[in-house]
Structure 1
Amino acid sequence: MSLIKQVHEIQLEDEDDIRKSRFERIYVCLGASKKGFIAGCRPYIEVDACHLRGPYKGQLLQSVAIDGNNNTFLVAFAVVEGVTKSSRKWFLKILQEDLRIGNDKWFTVMSDKQKGLIPAVAEVLPYVENILCIRHFYNFKDNFRGIHLKEILFCTVKTTYVQRFQYHMEDIKKTDEDAFTWLADKPPCFWSKSHFTTYNNYDELDNNICESFNSLILDARGKTILPLLEDIRCILMKIMQIRREEIRAYEGPICPNIQKRLEKRKLDACNCIAIWAGEQKYQINYFNGQQFVVDLEDSTNSCRKWELTGIPCCYAIATIYDQHENPKKYVAHWFRKETYMASYEPLIYFINGSEIWPKSVLDASLPPKVKKQPGRPKKLRRREANELQNPYKLKRKHTTTTYAVCGQLGHYKRSCKGQPVEGNAIKVRNNNSSSQVEIPPMGTEQNMARRSKAKVAAAGGSGCNAPNF
């Protein structure tokens, strides 16, 4: 059977001298998710939260991992009362027990800058590697603006070795000393690849996998608590079965997304010249003048791209081809087909409807307290200023319009008092004939009188038969 672990924290209240329990929190970790993570996922999780939009407000905390094909793998989730340090610590403590997370550096947790999350990770998991999502870290732009500064910052974040990191930091210092001081106060092990550990073989810099999961359950987030949890369970059950069947039909030793990434690096290996130094050590000269050292025996490269991703980089592939070997042999075990299958081998079993459940002898808990928020409930997430509210609709902000009648910028029908350009009068069809009557634009009293007469004529009469414009 699939294990469903539920932990309730109940708050007792006095209501009419009767002590009743009120729902506060629930934590769910499906047995299939727990076993699949331990069997085949890398020691890396992302922790995030999203707001519930149903009748009972609160937050849905989730812990998301990455499978061998770089897909989303939900490990655990919880419904909590709000964004507090207490709720985050409670979630992380139970998660630590379930995933057997020890206090060592081999495990990595990515988090954003939500309230209480970073201190909670520091207290509950003080020794694990904690990195920040670069999109949330980039509040840098609020104080230090400029495209050039942004480009240098992202180069600093993406570089994989320390010497290049220091070079980019000096570039930032020359551009803006205040920005350099702001960044120097932030430990680079939180936000730069050059200081990341290499245990988890994952080098992404954002928590987009959590955002993609949040969008997947967008409809479920508008429901009450039990239907929400049931929808998430059904979504996971479908996803695990689909991926299980796909990998069984797939032919190849490594996962398909990893194979595509490896093929791109093979093409880039054509720009490398491998110079054999002896044994399995090589010097690599790249076409742009860069020079690195590769050791095939230890699976290391001085640029650290191979160690960070677990996939041979273009420099390593050039040396592998010089040894007349296949690069697939050097891909980390996390990305192999058998490891991926181990993640999805456990089943999430079906559950009968609530009408078939055994009746509980306990009193029903009171629902969570609802604090009515002012204004209309929001359905869409808050977007940044540089994001389009609707990708298919261009905003009218910062744009100017031209009124076709007067031909002037910034004018429109209701407030235009300018003279019409010849031939640009508004035309209205007469109801009683196919002829058209020209209506001049609003403006002077003479034009207003002419406009009223034209409307009456267009309506096909005068007085009571004319529509009220």
Structure 2
Amino acid sequence: MLDPGSDISEDEGDPAENDEVVDLAPRKESGLHLALIDVLPNVEIRWCARHIRANRKKDRRVKKGEENYRQLPWHHLRAYFKEHSKCDVVENNIRVRLSTAWILGARFKSIITMLEEIRVKVMERMNHMREFSEKWITDVAPMAMDILRKNAEIADNCEVKFNGDLGFEIHDPPYKHVVDLRKKVCSCRSWQLKGIPCGHALTAIHYKDWVVDTFVDHWYKKETYLKAYNRFIQPMTNMKMWPKSDRPAIEPPRITAYAVKT
């Protein structure tokens, strides 16, 4: 998920008809989004809703309904998100926390020192995450279990009508939703976007008296979790003990003097 520039260009084509990639390019060539589109053309790119709102408040020249901003809902509203990633996040809080807190001290140091501090942090964190998985009570991640408990409260207020197969009509006043347990879909799309059964799906699962954990997507299972941390970053000596290189030292870029505006 990217932070959009305050000046956003019109997207080319209708994102709904684009099966490969959804992109929204700032006119200010930051380079990051362009590299993603070039290197990972099939990846869905989302804009952070919070930054979009902040940029709109900052740029008061933008009129409501202007063409550039009419394209934005395709990129920050869940209604238009693709379902394969099993992620419904609309804000970029993870990146903000990483850059402003987790590596804040290292960011202002020289490049090698910065990378070394980040390497040690990542090495320790990966070990911590492996140890954390040993404390799981079930095969499903604790975060997913918390969501299931909240969705179970919604399920308590729903009524179910069963078609005799695997289709259910769930009455969640004032709406009705359709759940198909075979396809693992609900008409509210929360199950498809997140990969965790929504309250409507839980109503159907409880009606059949089936095990809820089997309907949670594999991304939240312990086996998949451990695959993300099955590699190890090896410890290293400090820079004073590194082998000396016979290659020329990297010189800093030349200082370019710019004309001062008067």
TM-score, shorter chain, exceeding 0.5: yes
> How much has 1:302 moved relative to structure 2?
1.0
Post-superposition shift, 1:365?
Answer: 1.6
Q: Is the 8 A contact 1:189 1:196 kept in 2?
A: yes
Of residues 248, 270, 281, the one that matches 2:134 is 248
* Superposed counterparts of 1:67-466, under 5 Å: 105=20, 115-138=30-53, 139-142=55-58, 178-182=63-67, 185-186=70-71, 188-214=73-99, 215-287=101-173, 289-369=174-254
SS of the residue aligned with 1:291?
strand
TM-score after normalising by structure 1? 0.47
Rounded to whole Å, the distance in 2 between the matches of 1:365 and 1:203 is 43
Structure number having the greater strand percentage: 1
Deviation at 1:108, TM superposition (A): 8.4
| Amino acid in the other structure paired with 2:57 | K
TM-superposition CA deviations, 1:346-366 (whole Å, max 9, x none): 111100112222221212221
Determine if contact 1:130/1:190 at 8 Å carries over to the other structure.
yes
Structure 1 residue 196 displacement after superposition: 0.8
* 1:223-243 CA distance string (max 9 Å, x none): 111110000000101111111
Are the equivalent residues in 2 in contact too, given 1:281–1:293 (CA < 8 A)? yes
| Equivalent position SS for 2:156 | helix
Which structure carries more helix by proportion? 2
Give the direction of change, closer, same or farther, for the CA distance of 1:212–1:305 in structure 2 (3 Å limit): same
Aligned CA RMSD, in angstroms, stands at 2.8
1:410 paired residue number: none
Mapped contact 2:22–2:75 kept (Cα < 8 A): no
TM-score by length of 2: 0.81
Corresponding residue number in structure 2 for 1:388: none
The 1:121–1:363 alpha-carbon spacing in structure 2 relative to 1, beyond 3 Å, is closer
Segment of structure 1 superposing worse, 256-265 or 134-143: 134-143
- Which deviates the most, 210-219 or 182-191? 182-191
Contact 1:262-1:311 at 8 Å conserved across structures: yes
1:121 shift after superposition: 3.4
Deviation of 1:193 (Å): 0.8
Aligned residues: 238
Runs of 4+ in 1 over 4 A off after TM superposition: 107-114, 181-184, 368-372
- In our comparison, the structure showing a higher alpha carbon Rg is 1
C-alpha distance 119-315 of structure 1, shift in aligned 2 (>3 A): same
> Residue 2 of structure 2 contacts residue 46 of structure 2 at CA under 8 Å; is this kept in 1?
no
| Structure 2, unaligned runs of 5 or more | 4-18, 258-262
Alpha-carbon distance change, 275 to 254 in structure 1, aligned in 2, over 3 angstroms? same
CA contact (8 A) 2:24 2:75 kept: no
Are residues 249 and 259 of structure 1, via their aligned partners in 2, closer, same or farther at CA, if it must alter by over 3 Å? Answer: same
Alpha-carbon separation, structure 1, partners of 2:40 and 2:110: 32
Q: In the TM superposition, what is the alpha-carbon distance from 1:261 to its structure 2 partner?
A: 1.1
Q: Is the 8 A contact 1:111 1:117 kept in 2?
A: no
Are the structure 2 counterparts of residues 207 and 114 from structure 1 closer, same or farther at C-alpha, using a change threshold of 3 Å? farther
The CA distance in 2 between the partners of 1:110 and 1:309, in whole Å, is: 23
* Residue identity matched to 1:285: H
